[in-house]
Amino acid sequence: MQNKTEAAMGRAEQVLYKTYNRFPVMFDHGKGVYLYDAEGTEYLDFGAGIAVCALGYGDPEYTEAVKAQTEKLLHTSNLFYNQPVIDAGEKLLKASGMDRVFFTNSGTEAIEGALKIAKKYGFSRDGHGGHEIIAMKHSFHGRSLGALSVTGNQHYQEPFQPLLPGICFADFNDLDSVKALIHDNTCAVILETIQGEGGIYPATEEFLQGVRRLCDEHGLLLILDEIQCGMGRTGAMFAWQNYGVKPDVMTTAKALGNGVPIGAFLACGKAAEVLKPGDHGTTYGGNPLVCAAADKVLEIFEKRNLAAHAGQMGEYLWNTLENLAKRHACIRDHRGVGLIQGLEFSCPVGDIVKRALLEQHLVLISAEHQVIRFVPPLIVTEADIDHMAEKLEQVLPE
């Protein structure tokens, strides 16, 4: 006889589009770095809703701020001003050093806005359209057609061709490959500061600084995608701040709302003046509810110095995973920065991730087929990291 959870999951299979291969677990609530299913079973979470829940679960300050806004005002549209969008915007510009921000509903929409800035910039610069954007192989920027066009993975792209024209792909961390693609119609270069879905590959300092120089020399915009690696995860508020460079346009999302769906694209200098009234818009983006959430997230980040804590815990996680890798021949590489790290295995990791969840009640996520991605809430402690390593070791292949 089915229990209530099994019955609910069966109903889900009947009503929801089957675009996800979900694990047979249904979470009910969370506290700190732990999630709990409907039966009360406790799970240690090192996925954070795919790098979203930076504050963990049930943070009282955050919860109260969201609750208070739901009792005041949820939505008015962008035909009017609202206080939370101003407050969140000011804090985000202060944290990033950028000049203008546009709030979206997701990271994918933030990428769409960044691409429109690039296209409009090229049009304004040269007086015509038809400009090209350089993206990176093995990148991931989202599932909409525009974002998919700059995602350097044929597996994601092939069923939806033709995509946005004028996109060419360079090799990540190969400056010469970027330089070879630049010509008169190039308007921008887009890349993740740390490739996430592609397998946790940080940009090298030489590469990122070199791309910045190429953009300056050729009058191109540099767009940095910080949707997954930003918001304190690397020890700096945004990963690019570790490199001594600054983008013309950047995108953020995920941890910005700590679970409330919000994203943003930001620009500075000449890129901040490109979009004019009528060039872009959104019905829900920047509404009072999501911006009240983001405003509180940004306030908590600064007050608790979460980026610095993430940097410290990232060093501890690095040493812990290094020790794990030394003891297990199936682990062939270890990459990452701060609290975005990956272990690459000599075999597909799907079974390891599933066994960790079902047998050890440890939430992990993969990146590519052979990489386990570690993106825990930023409030994680050394004890949590030790506990994770103990659980993971129980399910590693001999």
223 plus 297 within the same structural domain: yes
**pLDDT > 80? residue 296:** yes
Query: Which carries the bigger pLDDT value, residue 217 or residue 398?
Result: 217
- Given this model, what pLDDT does residue 3 score? 84
Instruction: Tell whether 287 and 315 lie within a shared domain.
Output: no
Domain range spanning residue 277? 73-304
Give the CATH number of the domain where residue 353 resides. 3.90.1150.10
Cα–Cα distance, 27 to 48 (Å, whole number):
13
> Are 36 and 182 contained in the same domain?
no
347 in the same domain as 228: no
| 251 lies in some domain | yes
Question: Is 66 part of any domain?
Answer: no
Query: Are 96 and 29 in a shared domain?
Result: no
Phi, psi at 32, each rounded to 5°? 65, -125
Give kind and range of the element (H or E) at residue 71. Answer: none
Q: What CA–CA distances, in Å, run from 232 to 43, 336, 342, 390? A: 24, 14, 17, 26
CATH code: domain of residue 298: 3.40.640.10
Instruction: Return the number of other C-beta atoms located less than 10 Å from residue 51's C-beta.
Output: 25
Alpha-helical runs (H) found in the chain: 4-15, 48-51, 60-70, 83-96, 107-126, 145-149, 154-157, 175-179, 205-218, 288-304, 306-327, 350-360, 382-393
pLDDT value at 111 more than 90:
yes
Report yes or no on whether pTM surpasses 0.85: yes
Residue 218 sits in the same domain as residue 365: no
Token output for 334: 């270890």
Same-domain status, 239 and 262? yes
**Which helix or strand (DSSP H or E) is residue 194 part of?**
strand 194-195
Percent of the chain with pLDDT over 70: 99
pLDDT tens, 351-391?
999 999 999 999 999 998 999 999 999 999 999 999 999 99
Q: Is residue 10 part of a domain?
A: yes
Count the domains in the chain.
Answer: 2
Task: Give the phi and the psi of residue 249 in degrees, each rounded to 5.
Answer: -140, 140
Helix crossing, 382-393 with 350-360: angle to 10°?
110
Active site residues: 140, 225, 254
pLDDT at position 200: 97
- Do residue 212 and residue 84 come from a single domain? yes
